[in-house]
Amino acid sequence: MIVQIKKDITSDEQQQIFEVISQAGYSPKLIKTQLAGYIIGTGTGGFDIRRIGSLSGVSDIHRVTDAFKLVSRMWKVKDTAIDLGNGLSIGRDAFTIMAGPCAVEGPSQTLKTAIHLQDNGLRIMRGGVFKPRSSPYSFRGAGMEGLKEMAEICHKHEIKIVTEVMELSQIDQMYDYVDIFQVGARNSQNFNLLDALGKVDKPVLLKRGMSGTIDELLQSAEYIFSGGNEKIILCERGIRTHEHAYRNTLDLNAVPILKEKSHLPVIVDPSHGIGIRRFVEPMALAAVMAGADGIILEVHHSPEKAFSDGQQTLSFEEAKKLYLKANQTYQFLKNL
Amino acid sequence: MIVQIKKDITSDEQQQIFEVISQAGYSPKLIKTQLAGYIIGTGTGGFDIRRIGSLSGVSDIHRVTDAFKLVSRMWKVKDTAIDLGNGLSIGRDAFTIMAGPCAVEGPSQTLKTAIHLQDNGLRIMRGGVFKPRSSPYSFRGAGMEGLKEMAEICHKHEIKIVTEVMELSQIDQMYDYVDIFQVGARNSQNFNLLDALGKVDKPVLLKRGMSGTIDELLQSAEYIFSGGNEKIILCERGIRTHEHAYRNTLDLNAVPILKEKSHLPVIVDPSHGIGIRRFVEPMALAAVMAGADGIILEVHHSPEKAFSDGQQTLSFEEAKKLYLKANQTYQFLKNL
Amino acid sequence: MIVQIKKDITSDEQQQIFEVISQAGYSPKLIKTQLAGYIIGTGTGGFDIRRIGSLSGVSDIHRVTDAFKLVSRMWKVKDTAIDLGNGLSIGRDAFTIMAGPCAVEGPSQTLKTAIHLQDNGLRIMRGGVFKPRSSPYSFRGAGMEGLKEMAEICHKHEIKIVTEVMELSQIDQMYDYVDIFQVGARNSQNFNLLDALGKVDKPVLLKRGMSGTIDELLQSAEYIFSGGNEKIILCERGIRTHEHAYRNTLDLNAVPILKEKSHLPVIVDPSHGIGIRRFVEPMALAAVMAGADGIILEVHHSPEKAFSDGQQTLSFEEAKKLYLKANQTYQFLKNL
Amino acid sequence: MIVQIKKDITSDEQQQIFEVISQAGYSPKLIKTQLAGYIIGTGTGGFDIRRIGSLSGVSDIHRVTDAFKLVSRMWKVKDTAIDLGNGLSIGRDAFTIMAGPCAVEGPSQTLKTAIHLQDNGLRIMRGGVFKPRSSPYSFRGAGMEGLKEMAEICHKHEIKIVTEVMELSQIDQMYDYVDIFQVGARNSQNFNLLDALGKVDKPVLLKRGMSGTIDELLQSAEYIFSGGNEKIILCERGIRTHEHAYRNTLDLNAVPILKEKSHLPVIVDPSHGIGIRRFVEPMALAAVMAGADGIILEVHHSPEKAFSDGQQTLSFEEAKKLYLKANQTYQFLKNL
C-alpha cells in the first residue's frame, strides 16, 4: 500500500500510521522525495485500508499489489511529466526527441551537434563521456573534461544534456554539468548506483537491462523513487535474443505494457536497439505509434568518422527528416 | 545466381546453360513456377556471369549471394504483389487486413464474422479448422467439415479464406475451399510440407518459427518458391525470449529487415504476438509504421466465449476501430 | 486422472467408467496402446477417485495433475524400459550409446561404421536418410534407397537403426527397415506426425524443439503415447539462446527434470548440442552424470570428409575412448 | 600481443618496446600486476613479433588474437592456480568446494556453518552481507557489521570467506575481512567495479552475467587482470533463456569452452543455476564431469528457515553427501 502523507505531518501522526500498518502485519517505510512524502507498506495480508485513510496526517491511501509501488500506475492514474526547467518537460502531453553522438569527441563536434539540434528545435543532447566498453583496452570516453566542455557549449545554446553515469562516485562531479543522468543497460540492476541517484534532484533516464524483464526495470525505477527522486524516465533499448540479424531485439511490446503498469514516461532508443542505420527510422516511427513518449537517437555530423563505427548513427540530414516524421507521427497518433 | 529463362526455351538451350554453369563450378537447378522459369546456380566460386547472359534462352541473369535466392531482393528489386483474384492483391501498393476467429466454431459464428468483415470492407477471413495444440486432449479444430461450411458462407459473401494446413495430405482436401494456405509457426521448418505447397497454385502465408531466425524464414520461403509456387506472404508473429510479460516478443525489427532482404509481402500478427487484447492495437499500428504490408487479427463476436480463451481476441467493436486506424496509419505513412 | 483398465474389460464396464467420469465433470478418453488400455479423464474439478477404483474392469486409478498424463511419473513411479528385441532395451537399468554418421553416404561408410560399432559393443546406429535442411538446394539425404542399403548391412551385423522420419507418409515405407523412428527438433510439434507415430509399434526417439520447453516435449510425447504407442525415448539436443559460442545450448538441466517428471528414458545428444568436436566428450560425460539413460553421438570413419562439415563429428578413435569413458562414468554413478 | 617484461626493466628499455610496438601500428599499454609486468599491444596489423622478442627487458612475447589478452590461454598454456594462503589454492590440480548460506543471518548461523564446513574438510564459506535484491523493500543484507562478525568466527575456524562486493566504495571497508571478493551476475559488466578490483591484491570470483556471453565474461576478467590483479576465478551460474522450468539455464557448455579459452580456474554454481534443491546434486556432479575446477553451493542448517526461501538450499546432511560425491567424481575424472 502507498500512504500519501501531508507535507506538515507531525512525528506523532507519522508514528501512529506506522503502528496501524505494523499491526496489520505490514512493514512501513517512510519515503521523502523532492516532491512529496509517502509511507509504503509492504506485506501480504489483507485489511481495510480505510482504517489508515481516516488517520490525521494522511492525504490519501492506495492499495498497490504490484511488487513495485511508487512507480506503479495503481496509485497514480495520470501520466507523470518530468520537468526539466525552461518550460521543457518529458512525458504526459509532450513528445521528446533527444539526439547526439555515441561519444563526446570534442568541442567542434559538440558545437556542430548543438547547432544542428537548435536548427531542428531539439533541446536535449545525448553524448557519452563515460563509456561502458566490453574491452578494457577500448577508449572509455572523454571523462569529466569532456563533460565540462560539452556543458559549456550546450548551455550556451540552451541545450540540455543527458549522459551516462557509471559509478556513484561520479554523481557529485557530474551534477553541475548534467541535466539528465542516464543509467545504461549494464547498470540497470546496479542497485547502489540506483540508490544514490535517488538522493539526487535531477531526472534519471533508466535503461532496461539486456536480459532485464519489464518488471525488473520497474523495480529498478522503484529504487530511485524510494530513494527520494521521483524524476524517472524509462527507456527501452532492446533485449538479447537468439536473433542476431540486428544488434538487439528492440522490444516495442514493452512500450504499451510499461505505459499501463507505470505512470512514468517511456522513451525508446532505436539506435542501440536495432542498431542498423537505415532501419532506425522505421523502428523510431513504430515506437511512436506503440505509444512512446519520446525517442533517443544517435546522430553525428560525419557518421563514418564517428567514434562508434557509426553503423547505427544517422547523419544530420537523415536525422532532420526523422525528427519531422516522428513529430508528425506523434501528432497523427494524438488525433487518431 | 539466378538465370531467368524464356518461356519457349528449348531443351538444347537449357542443356547448354546447365553446362556453362557446371563448368564454372556451380550446381544448376531448374525451377518452374506457375509464373516463370529459372535456373538456380549454387556454389561459391566467382566467374563472369555475362558468359551466361549472352546464351540463347536466357532472358536475364543475376548474381545473388544470399543463401536464399528466389525470394531475395537481390534479383527482384520491385515488391511482389500476390494476386488473389477478384481484384484483390497483397503487397506492393496494397495494405491488407485479415481478421477472424482463432478457431472456426460453426456456421453462426462464420456468418457473423463474414458480415462484420463485409461491413468493414475486409475481404479475407482467418479461422483455423486444423488447430495445432500442445496437448493431445485439447480440441483440435472442426476439420474438413468445418472448412466446407466456412467456405460456403465466406464465398457467398465474397470473403476469401486463409487457414492453416498442418500436414501435406490435407492440401488436396483443402484446396477447393481455401484461398491462402497458412503455415503455422510450429511447421515453419516442416520442409516436406513446404515442398508440397510449392506444387500448389494458391498463395501461402508462412509464419516465422518460435525461435526461427529471419534468414530461416526466408529459406523456408525459398522451399515453396523453388518448389514452383511464387505466391508467398511472410508473417512475423513473435519469437520466444526470456520475457514472459506477454505471450511472445512480437519482433517488429523483422519487418524492415525482411522488406529489405526479400521482395515478398510481410504481414504482422499482433494478436498471436503480444497476445494481450488491449495491446493488440498499439502493436498493430506500430507494425504498420514499421513497414508491414498488412496485419492479421483475431476477432470474435463474443471474445469471452471464443474457443481460445479470448485473451488476445478483439470484439467486433474494438476491431472496427482498429481497421480504420490501421488504414489511416498506412495512408499517413505513404504520405509521410 | 488415469484409469488403468483390464485387458478383458467389457464394453458395459467401459461404458460405466465413462459415465462416472463424465458425471464428475471430466472428459473421458479411451486409449489403447500396444501394451495396455487406459481411460484418461481430463478436467479441473476435484472428486473422490476411489468411486472409480471400485468399478469392475478397473485395475488401478491415479490422480495426475500434470498437463501431460500417460508420460507423467505421477502414475508410473518406476522407470520405463523400451524393449528393442534381441535382449536390447533402453532405460531403467541400461545405459545406451547410439552412434553413427550425420547422413548415410553409402554402403562402404555403413559397413565401416557397423564394424566399428560391433567392435565396441554398440548395437544401435544413427544415420539420416531424410535430412531436414534449411536450404532447399542442400543435399536432402539418400532417401529410401539409402535406408534399404543401410538396413541390409546393419541387420547382417545385428545393429539396430535409429533414423529420422520427417513426414507421416514416410512411416509405412520406412517401417520394415527402421528400429527406432527419430523425430527431429524441427518436427517436435508436428502433431500430425506424432499422432501417426502413435499408431506404430516401434520405438520413437523424440527430440526437444529448438525453443521447446520441457513441458512441451512431454506434451509431444503424450501425443505418441495417447495415439497408442508407449515406446518413447526423450532426447535433449540443445536449445537456442543468445549465446553463439557453440552450436546450441545443450541444456543438461532438462535431464534431472525430465527424469523426475516422466518415467520415460532420457537420451542426450552432445554432438548436435554443443556442436564442437573437442567438447563432445566433456558434455557427454556431464550428461551421464546428470542422469541421462544414454547418449547419441555423431561418428565418422573420416570426419573431415563427412557429409556434414564434420565440425561436431568424432573419429572412430575418439569415439572409442568416449564409449569406454561414458560406460565407466555410468557405472561410477550407479555405485556413487 | 603480450610482452612479458622483466622485473628489473629500465624505463629506457620500456620506452624502446613501446616505440617498436607503436611503429608496428599497435597501441602499447603497460600492465603491472601483483605478480609480474606486461606490455599489451592492441591493433590489427601483422608484423614479426620476433623484432620485439630480441629487445632487452623482454622475457617473452606472444601473439594473442583473442579480444581478451591476459586471461587468454594463447599466451599461458598452463592452468593458473589462485593461491589463497595457508596451503590453499584454487585451480590447476585442486578441486574446490565453497559452501554457505545465501545471506549471513547472524553469529549462530555462521558458527554452525563453520563447524559443518570444518567437519567436512571444506575451507571456504560463501555468504552474502550485501545482497542485490530486485526490490528496494527487500532485506539487503547484514552489511559490514555482519561481515565483521562472520570474519571473526570464520577465521577462528580457519575458514576463508567469499562474499559479494556490490560497489567500489565497499572494497576498502571489506578488505580486511574478505578472502575472495565475489562479483555478482548483475555487476558482471560494472566496469568501474572491475577496474577497482584490479587494484586489490585479493582473489576475485567473477560471475557470468545473466545474458552475458562467454567472451564478455572473459573481457570482464581482462578488466581485473589489466587493472593489476591476476587472481581471478570465473564462475558459471546460469543464463536467462525462454525455459522457466528452473531458475536459470545452468550452461555447462561454458565450462569446457572457458577452460580452453582461458588459463583461469572455472567454478560452477548449481544452486543459483538450476535453483531447485533436489536437482543441485546432479548438476553439481555434471559440472565436475564437464571439467569445472570447483563448485559453490548454498547450504543452511535449516533450509526452510533460511533467509532465501531455501528453494535451492541444501541441508547440512544433503550437502555432506554431495561434498563426498563431488570429490569422488573429481578423482574419478582425473583417473579416467
pLDDT tens-place string over residues C63-99: 999 999 999 999 999 999 999 999 999 999 999 999 9
Q: A89 and A29 in one domain?
A: no
Instruction: Answer yes or no: is pLDDT of C251 > 90.
Output: yes
- C69 contacts in chain B (CB < 8 Å): 137
Contact C229, C220 (CB under 8 A): no
Which band of pLDDT confidence, cut at 50, 70 and 90, is reported for residue D307?
confident
Q: D239 and D101 in one domain?
A: yes
| Most C-contacting residue of A239, A241, A242 (CB-CB within 10 A), to test interface | A242
- Smallest CA–CA distance from C242 into chain A, residue: A242
Q: D31 and D157 in one domain?
A: no
Query: Residue B314 pairs with which residues in a beta bridge?
Result: B299
Instruction: Determine the pLDDT at residue D51.
Output: 86
- Residue range A136-149, pLDDT digits in tens: 999 899 999 999 99
**Interfacial residues of C (vs A; Cβ cutoff 8 Å):** 211, 240-242, 244
Percent of all residues in chain C with a pLDDT value above 90, rounded to a whole number: 94
Which whole number is the average pLDDT over D58-81? 96
Query: What is the domain count for chain D?
Result: 2
Instruction: Answer yes or no: is pLDDT of B135 > 80.
Output: yes
Which whole number is the average pLDDT over D207-231? 97
- Residue range C130-156, pLDDT digits in tens: 999 999 999 899 999 999 999 999 999
Q: D86 and D58 in one domain?
A: no
- B257 contacts in chain A (CB < 8 Å): 245-246, 276, 279
CB spacing of A195 vs D67 below 8 angstroms = no
Instruction: Answer yes or no: is pLDDT of B310 > 80.
Output: no
- Tell whether the torsion through CA atoms of B75, B78, B79 and B82 is positive or negative: negative
Which whole number is the average pLDDT over C265-284? 97
Q: Which of C37, C16, C39 is nearest to C29 (CA)?
A: C39
Instruction: Determine the pLDDT at residue B308.
Output: 73
Partner-chain residue, chosen from C40, C219, C226, that has the shortest CB–CB distance to B134: C219
Partner-chain residue, chosen from B252, B256, B328, that has the shortest CB–CB distance to A252: B252
> Cα–Cα distance between B267 and B273 in angstroms, integer?
12
ipTM score for this prediction: 0.96
Instruction: Determine the pLDDT at residue D310.
Output: 74
Partner-chain residue, chosen from C136, C189, C192, that has the shortest CB–CB distance to B222: C136
- C289 contacts in chain D (CB < 8 Å): 282, 285-286, 288-289, 329
Residue D163 sits at φ, ψ, to 5 deg, of -150, 155
CA distances from A140 to A155, A248, A325, D43 (A): 24, 22, 34, 16
- Residue range A49-74, pLDDT digits in tens: 888 999 999 999 999 999 999 999 99
Indicate whether C74 belongs to any domain: no
Instruction: Determine the pLDDT at residue C44.
Output: 79
CA distances from C280 to A137, A140, C90, C310, C313 (A): 34, 39, 22, 12, 9
Which whole number is the average pLDDT over A265-285? 97
CB spacing of D283 vs C241 below 8 angstroms = no
Instruction: Determine the pLDDT at residue B48.
Output: 80
Instruction: Determine the pLDDT at residue B272.
Output: 95
- Residue range A111-134, pLDDT digits in tens: 999 999 999 999 999 999 999 999
Q: pTM value?
A: 0.96
Instruction: Answer yes or no: is pLDDT of C239 > 90.
Output: yes
- Residue range B192-246, pLDDT digits in tens: 999 999 999 999 999 999 999 999 999 999 999 999 999 999 999 999 999 999 9
- B283 contacts in chain A (CB < 8 Å): 252-253, 256, 290
> Cα–Cα distance between D6 and D59 in angstroms, integer?
6
**CATH number for A11:** 3.30.70
- Residue range B263-296, pLDDT digits in tens: 999 999 999 999 999 999 999 999 999 999 999 9
Which band of pLDDT confidence, cut at 50, 70 and 90, is reported for residue B45?
confident
Q: How far is A296 from chain C (nearest CA, A)?
A: 25
Percent of all residues in chain B with a pLDDT value above 90, rounded to a whole number: 93
CB spacing of A135 vs D68 below 8 angstroms = yes
Which band of pLDDT confidence, cut at 50, 70 and 90, is reported for residue D215?
very high
| Most B-contacting residue of A66, A68, A239, A243 (CB-CB within 10 A), to test interface | A243
Chains adjacent to B (≥3 CB pairs closer than 8 angstroms) = A, C, D
Q: Share the mean pLDDT of chain A.
A: 96
- Residue range C177-195, pLDDT digits in tens: 999 999 999 999 999 999 9
Residue A112 sits at φ, ψ, to 5 deg, of -60, -40
Q: A142 and A88 in one domain?
A: yes
Chains adjacent to D (≥3 CB pairs closer than 8 angstroms) = A, B, C
| Most D-contacting residue of A1, A168, A189 (CB-CB within 10 A), to test interface | A189
> Cα–Cα distance between C185 and C210 in angstroms, integer?
6
Contact C110, C153 (CB under 8 A): yes
Indicate whether B249 belongs to any domain: yes
Q: D173 and D29 in one domain?
A: no
Indicate whether B75 belongs to any domain: no
Q: B90 and B34 in one domain?
A: no
Instruction: Determine the pLDDT at residue A310.
Output: 74
Q: B86 and B57 in one domain?
A: no
CB pairs under 8 A between B and C: 87
| Most B-contacting residue of C39, C192, C193, C218 (CB-CB within 10 A), to test interface | C192
Q: A204 and A110 in one domain?
A: yes
Residue whose C-alpha cell reads 582473489 in the numeric block: D203
Q: D58 and D86 in one domain?
A: no
Q: A49 and A124 in one domain?
A: no
- A169 contacts in chain D (CB < 8 Å): 168-169
Which whole number is the average pLDDT over B70-87? 97
Instruction: Determine the pLDDT at residue A308.
Output: 73
Q: Share the mean pLDDT of chain B.
A: 96
Percent of all residues in chain A with a pLDDT value above 90, rounded to a whole number: 94
- Residue range B88-108, pLDDT digits in tens: 999 999 999 999 999 999 999
Percent of all residues in chain B with a pLDDT value above 70, rounded to a whole number: 100
Instruction: Answer yes or no: is pLDDT of B22 > 90.
Output: yes
> Residue A190's domain spans which residues?
82-335
Instruction: Determine the pLDDT at residue A49.
Output: 80
Indicate whether A168 belongs to any domain: yes
Contact C215, C186 (CB under 8 A): no
> Cα–Cα distance between D280 and A167 in angstroms, integer?
35
Q: Please report which helix (H) or strand (E) contains residue D17, including its range.
A: helix D11-23
Which whole number is the average pLDDT over D119-131? 97
Instruction: Answer yes or no: is pLDDT of D94 > 90.
Output: yes
- Residue range A279-297, pLDDT digits in tens: 999 999 999 999 999 999 9
Q: Which of D219, D268, D218, D220 is nearest to D248 (CA)?
A: D268
Instruction: Answer yes or no: is pLDDT of A238 > 90.
Output: yes
Indicate whether B86 belongs to any domain: yes
Q: D51 and D110 in one domain?
A: no
Indicate whether D55 belongs to any domain: yes
Task: Provide the pairing of β-strand C82-85 with C314-315.
Answer: unpaired
Instruction: Answer yes or no: is pLDDT of A91 > 80.
Output: yes
Indicate whether D70 belongs to any domain: no
Instruction: Determine the pLDDT at residue A45.
Output: 74
Partner-chain residue, chosen from C244, C246, C290, that has the shortest CB–CB distance to D282: C290
Instruction: Answer yes or no: is pLDDT of C45 > 80.
Output: no
**CATH number for A277:** 3.20.20.70
Indicate whether A68 belongs to any domain: no
The count of other CB atoms within 10 Å of the CB of residue C208 is 25
Task: Provide the pairing of β-strand D314-315 with D294-300.
Answer: parallel
> Cα–Cα distance between C193 and B121 in angstroms, integer?
39
CB spacing of D214 vs C241 below 8 angstroms = no
